[in-house]
Structure 1
Amino acid sequence: MPFYRKPRNFTPLLIEAEKKSVKNGLHHAIFTSRFDRYKGDWKKDLKEGKGLFLTHTGKLYEGDWYRGFRHGFGTLSKKQQNGTYSLEYRGEWIRGKPEGVGWWYYENGDVYFGYWKRGQRHGYGKMWYANGTYYVGYWNMSKKEGLGMLIQENGNRYEGHWESNLKHGLGRFYHMHTGQLQEGCWVHNVCVRSKVSDIIIRQYCDLPTEYPIPPEELKDSKKILEESEFWLQQKIGDIDKKLQFCIDQMY
């Protein structure tokens, strides 16, 4: 009577090779077909952990990875002609794009610090422009939107509402060269109704206007403003209580 022997489990060599080829842990250098280079941690054949990724175009990312994406905290730099690297972005990432809080250094000299969403300036942030202009306030997908303050290179300052990068809504504009404060409403970067008054430091300005300012000749200016279509279309929740001072002082 022949003896029965249970056959030994056999795994084909091809499957064994595929299992061994799955990258896990730290690898010194992995090159892509485009000659991009990655050095860092892997998990189940995906970049995960800490790593350095250098593209063939000279972009260098150093930081956290998760499931193959730049995810966590990291820095993005660009290689210069002299061989050094200049910093472009430093901050938080989610699934390959800046999201959270971070700094961005633009090639033209502009610098942004604040919140990001899907690679766009979104939320509260500050922007230093190369020409000396400064903006601090809220953004919506890289456009000024909501409450914000803009200080121009000549010292003039606007404080108020923005929409699609334009002054739109209630606001105050300080004319620092003439020593006057303009309070009122803007529509697509144009002031449609306002009240102008002298500011305390008027005597120290470069080109102070004649004092006192001639009285306005328009009658019932407050009533006209309150009945205007623009004023009626304003959302109550979008109007800052402090900025309502501009309409309350019109007479």
Structure 2
Amino acid sequence: MSGYGTFTCADTCRRGIFSEGKLNGLGQLITKGDTVYTGMWRDGKRDGRGVFTDSLGRRIEGWWKNETLVYGRIYDELGVYEGEVDSCGDPSGHGKFINPSGAFYEGHWENGMREDFGFAVNADGRLQVGVWHRGRFQGEQMIHNSDRIYGIDISRYQHIHKGRTYPIRWSDLRITSLGRLKSRLVSGEVDYPVSFVYIKSTQGTTVLNRHYLTDYRSARKASIPCGAYHFFSTVSDAADQAAYFIKNTRFSRGDLPPVLDLEPSDREIERAGGAVKMFREVLIWMKIVEKRVGVRPILYVNQMFVNKYLPLSPELRDNYNVWIARYGSYKPDIKLVHWQLSADGKVNGIVPEVDINVFNGYKDEFMKYLHDSTIKSNVKP
């Protein structure tokens, strides 16, 4: 069979230009399952540019090689994908995707899902650059080096080691280890200055850090930007906790914004009346402290809490900067100011292990943060 014609066999129908019984050139394949391919053929196999529609309503404009789709533009109800594909017509390899809301992703795909490195711009303009796994964003895999801005947070535990009490040698402070996590990427030797420090001041309405005032005065004398944090109790009144924190904490011009350390267990949240009720208390604390100090406090939480509970409080999530504890190699994807990346770091001048934090930005951004976001005037106790 040669020339233009139609050949029907079982569940398929082929029409187009035939040569020795095989489609060659422009042709069409229609199957009983309502899939249609219209495009170029060579020796009876799809080869070259073509258009394919399947029973799910997807339309694929692409390039076939020896019956295999190797590159395509896929249209479906989710949006438009353009890039490399696998034999099933699913995104696989490098490709771009845009949906009707304007959200965009470009990067690597595997089995129809985002995988490995890529970047996305969400419909709200938020940028995500980093590693993806099975369609979910893991975060930026940060490379740690001396260009980053590192700090520490301390409490009484940084003075106690094996039953003995030690002072902090403030003039000797240097970060010498970011912790024991092996997957963390580090370029060069870890020997970083301590660029900021947070000191625990109070907890609930009864607990004071007896080292707070000494450490606070020493940090300021060493010209290290410093701030204070309060450990929130789910069994004490939020307004009373705010008053206790303000009474026992020093707030001076140039100090970092105060922090509320929120680390309740699931059981503590349940006993407090649930997450929504707890968040109402948290907001009371935040607003009282902001009014007294003149800057908006930061919320300290861990990654599990962010995933499970923070979406229940849009006011906190959207309006307050977050300092997050996430002990992994990926930078958290949230409105972030500090990232606590380990609890087992080493700092010259401090005997026990220390929490190590990294500021979300570089030197110029840190200097702008110190100018714009720190306390503007002394607050009387």
TM-score normalised by L of structure 1: 0.51
For the 8 Å contact 1:99–1:115, the answer to whether it is kept is yes
User: Which residue number corresponds to residue 49 of structure 1?
Assistant: 48
Q: What is the Cα deviation at residue 117 of structure 1? A: 2.1
Secondary structure class of the residue paired with 1:200: helix
Q: Verify: 1:182 aligned to 2:338, yes or no.
A: yes
Within the candidate set 107, 123, 144, 2:137 is matched to 144
User: Which residue number corresponds to residue 328 of structure 2?
Assistant: 169
Q: 1:46 to 1:168 in 2, by over 3 A?
A: farther
- How far apart are the structure 1 equivalents of 2:58 and 2:333? 43
- How far apart are the structure 2 equivalents of 1:52 and 1:174? 38
1:1-251 matched pairs, under 5 angstroms: 22-55=21-54, 57-71=56-70, 73-78=71-76, 88-95=80-87, 96-145=89-138, 147-148=140-141, 167-169=326-328, 181-185=337-341, 193-195=355-357, 199-202=366-369, 205=372, 208-210=373-375
Q: Which runs of 5+ in 1 are unaligned?
A: 1-16, 80-85, 160-165, 214-251
Greater fraction helix: 2
- How far apart are the structure 2 equivalents of 1:97 and 1:158? 38
For these two proteins, the number of residue pairs brought into alignment is 173
Identity, in percent, stands at 23
RMSD: 4.6
Q: 1:211 to 1:90 in 2, by over 3 A?
A: same
Q: What is the Cα deviation at residue 77 of structure 1? A: 1.7
Q: 1:58 to 1:172 in 2, by over 3 A?
A: closer
- How far apart are the structure 1 equivalents of 2:333 and 2:371? 14
Letter in 2 for 1:90: E
Q: What is the Cα deviation at residue 137 of structure 1? A: 1.1
Letter in 2 for 1:42: W
Structure 1 residues 69-91: Cα deviation after superposition (integer angstroms, max 9, x where no partner): 322x2211248xxxxxx961011
Greater fraction strand: 1
Q: Which of structures 1 and 2 has the larger relative contact order (alpha carbons within 8 angstroms, sep 6+)?
A: 2
Q: Which runs of 5+ in 2 are unaligned?
A: 1-7, 10-17, 143-316, 344-353, 360-364
Q: 1:49 to 1:153 in 2, by over 3 A?
A: farther
For the 8 Å contact 2:47–2:64, the answer to whether it is kept is yes
For the 8 Å contact 1:131–1:153, the answer to whether it is kept is no
